[in-house]
């Protein structure tokens, strides 16, 4: 590494210690760019606060940098690491035993507390100053106060604790109802314990980061077993809700009568209720109200699980700010948010509690080894002219959706893998492009196309047919970015994406990472138009996966169809 005074870190990819250094950096820094030979990371306040919340201290971070740094670490970097990490927890939120309407905001640094109290962001939540180190604040503003303090650069450690919620007994089975032996994997147990923290106020809220296919749902269910309480689970879609329900019924002793579905199709409230983000963010047509937010008060929930928390819609942040007395668990494969609201996740859901490196789980055999390709397709002269003359805003769509040579490449990859007996997903963003791809492939293969408008029952039938081997290829829109449980899928071909979305790239690779019984690898292809905005943004899309240790094999597809 070369650690620079602007808090960036340059990492030499070709060095024998590259992987060790990369894994060390991933705990407290963010990858910014990843060209061939030198990767650039940045150490930020938020990355250090998440590291602090997961148990690291400043000396751990500095020691990691010193172990791999080619040169002496700049003194301002060391000073910033110590300063920024020390800010986490210098303010503490505590229970006020005399009146439940209020909380205590306490700091051993009375000058810091005085400065914070003068802030316009904090003043609306202030009730009184009890002494030089303690202020009385409104309990109803617990979430908004934490958000304000984080924005001021001094995130509070929340030690108030949680309402227990109505009890509900749940037990994990040692043998699933489908007849298989079942026990938590080591990293799943570690994730559960990191969140639970012995039942103390230091646990009970936060985010667990695990790769797709590594069993995030199982971790959530194991935490439900720990807490034995009524639980509200919020998911990305009705399909995802039913997959949660299937896992609960297969791996716990819960009866079907105790699990409710709250979606566009059903409105059931049970001890375990599974809702969707879509139904929660449905607005009343004649007002700006969200009528389904009432679900948060329908039962005395002891735990709220936010599945795929990186997709949490803004209105749900608002209601979550009011739910700080509930235990809150976020599950995700990546904390990257394209809207930049990672600090809101940190403040309102909780800090990162556990993060398992993708490549480490791959080495242990818990997720499939993945071979990633980027294939660059030249455009015809006619298409290049159209692209050159198009307004800037249209260039990306033209490159992504209108390059005919993408279909030639797609057909060739599908032929190759179909001959091997592989199970293939074709994923894209533009519906017309997907429809054309499905029509071309249907001339040779058994193909089904699924979009957001496809009824849930039809989707479930297609997934079942794919698992049985009655379908060769599923062509699927952005609904494939999450909540598709197809353990036998081992090839994903991406023909278009959403600009430079890092989390979308990670989610799409995740569709094929379930380990295969024969130990065979998964294959991920991304087809992009050469020398276009799509190629430029592909590098950004790949950033998170590069950070996890994946490498893309780059190849050109020339204009000659014979090649």
> For the chain, which residues make up each domain, given as ranges?
2-87, 92-158, 186-356, 362-557
DSSP state of 72: P
- For residue 373 the two structure tokens come to 């390709």
Q: Dihedral through CA 468, CA 470, CA 476, CA 480, nearest 10?
A: 0
Domain 92-158 annotated CATH 1.20.120: no
Residue corresponding to tokens 């060739």: 412
SS3 12: strand
What class does CATH assign to 362-557?
A: alpha beta
Beta strands in 324-430 (DSSP E): 327-332, 352-355, 370-377, 424-427
Residue corresponding to tokens 């020398």: 531
User: pTM score, two decimals?
Assistant: 0.82
Q: How large is the angle between the packed helices 45-53 and 58-68, nearest 10 degrees?
A: 110
CATH architecture, domain defined by 186-356: 3-Layer(aba) Sandwich (3.40)
User: Hey, do 186-356 and 362-557 end up sharing a CATH topology, with the first three levels equal?
Assistant: yes
Greatest pairwise CA separation for the chain in angstroms: 81
Residuewise pLDDT in 10s, the chain (563 residues): 999 999 999 999 889 999 899 889 988 998 877 776 888 899 999 999 999 988 899 999 999 999 999 999 999 999 999 999 999 989 999 999 999 999 999 999 999 999 999 999 999 999 998 999 999 999 999 999 999 999 999 999 999 999 889 999 999 999 999 999 999 999 999 999 999 999 888 889 999 988 888 899 999 999 999 999 999 999 988 888 988 999 999 999 999 999 999 987 888 999 999 999 888 888 777 767 788 888 888 899 999 999 988 878 888 888 888 888 899 999 998 877 767 788 888 989 999 898 887 778 888 888 888 899 999 999 999 999 999 999 998 999 999 999 999 999 999 999 999 999 999 999 999 999 999 999 999 999 999 998 878 887 888 888 889 888 899 899 998 776 665 667 788 999 999 988 877 778 888 888 888 887 777 889 999 999 999 999 988 888 887 787 777 888 888 876 544 44
The residues, any chain, with a CB within 8 Å of residue 328's CB and separated by 6 or more, are: 204, 205, 206, 303, 304, 306, 320, 348, 349, 350
**From CA 4, how far away is CA 8, in angstroms rounded?**
5
**From CA 15, how far away is CA 21, in angstroms rounded?**
10
């Amino acid at each position: 590494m070369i650690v620079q005074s602007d808090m960036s870190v340059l990492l030499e990819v070709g060095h024998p210690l590259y992987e060790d250094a990369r894994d060390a950096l991933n705990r407290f820094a963010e990858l910014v760019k990843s060209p061939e030979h030198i990767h650039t990371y940045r150490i930020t306040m938020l990355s250090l606060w998440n590291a602090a919340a997961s148990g690291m201290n400043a000396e751990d971070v500095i020691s990691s940098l010193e172990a791999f740094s080619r040169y002496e670490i700049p003194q301002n970097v060391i000073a910033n690491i110590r300063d920024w990490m020390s800010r986490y927890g210098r303010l503490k939120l505590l229970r006020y035993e005399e009146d439940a309407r209020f909380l205590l905001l306490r700091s051993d640094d009375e000058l810091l507390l005085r400065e914070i109290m003068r802030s316009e962001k904090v003043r609306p939540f202030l009730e009184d100053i009890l002494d030089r180190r303690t202020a009385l604040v409104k309990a109803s503003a617990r979430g908004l106060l934490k958000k304000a303090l984080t924005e001021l650069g001094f995130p509070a450690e929340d030690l108030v604790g949680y309402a227990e919620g109505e009890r509900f007994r749940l037990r994990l089975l040692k043998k699933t109802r489908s007849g298989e032996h079942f026990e938590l994997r080591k990293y799943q147990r570690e994730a559960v314990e990191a969140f639970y923290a012995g039942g103390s106020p230091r646990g009970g809220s936060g985010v667990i980061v695990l790769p797709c296919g590594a069993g995030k749902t199982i971790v959530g269910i194991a935490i439900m077993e720990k807490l034995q309480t009524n639980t509200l689970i919020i998911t990305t879609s009705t399909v995802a809700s039913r997959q949660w329900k299937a896992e609960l019924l297969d791996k716990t002793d819960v009866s079907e009568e105790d699990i409710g579905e709250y979606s566009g199709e059903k409105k059931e409230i049970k001890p375990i209720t599974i809702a969707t983000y879509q139904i929660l963010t449905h607005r009343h047509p004649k007002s700006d109200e969200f009528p389904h937010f009432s679900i948060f008060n329908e039962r005395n929930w002891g735990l709220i699980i936010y599945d795929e928390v990186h997709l949490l819609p803004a209105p749900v942040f608002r209601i979550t700010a009011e739910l700080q007395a509930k235990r809150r668990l976020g599950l995700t494969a990546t904390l990257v948010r394209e809207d930049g609201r990672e600090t809101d996740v940190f403040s309102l859901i909780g800090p990162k509690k556990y993060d398992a490196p993708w490549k480490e789980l791959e080495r242990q055999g818990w997720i499939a080894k993945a071979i990633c390709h980027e294939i660059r397709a030249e455009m015809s002269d006619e298409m290049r002219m159209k692209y050159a003359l198009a307004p800037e805003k249209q260039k990306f769509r033209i490159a992504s959706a209108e390059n005919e040579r993408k279909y030639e490449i797609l057909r060739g990859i599908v032929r190759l893998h179909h001959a091997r007996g592989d199970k293939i997903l074709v994923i894209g963003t533009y519906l017309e492009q997907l429809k054309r791809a499905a029509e071309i492939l249907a001339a040779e293969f058994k193909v089904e196309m699924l979009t957001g408008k496809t009824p849930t029952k039809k989707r479930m039938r297609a997934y079942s047919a794919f698992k049985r081997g009655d379908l060769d290829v599923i062509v699927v829109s952005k609904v494939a970015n999450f909540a598709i449980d197809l353990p036998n899928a081992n090839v994903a071909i991406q023909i278009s994406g959403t600009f430079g979305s890092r989390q979308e790239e990670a989610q799409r690779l995740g569709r094929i990472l379930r380990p295969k019984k024969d130990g065979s690898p998964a294959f991920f292809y991304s087809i992009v138009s050469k020398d276009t905005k799509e190629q430029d943004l592909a590098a950004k899309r790949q950033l998170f996966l590069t950070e996890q240790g994946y490498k893309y094999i780059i190849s050109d597809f020339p204009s000659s169809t014979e090649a």
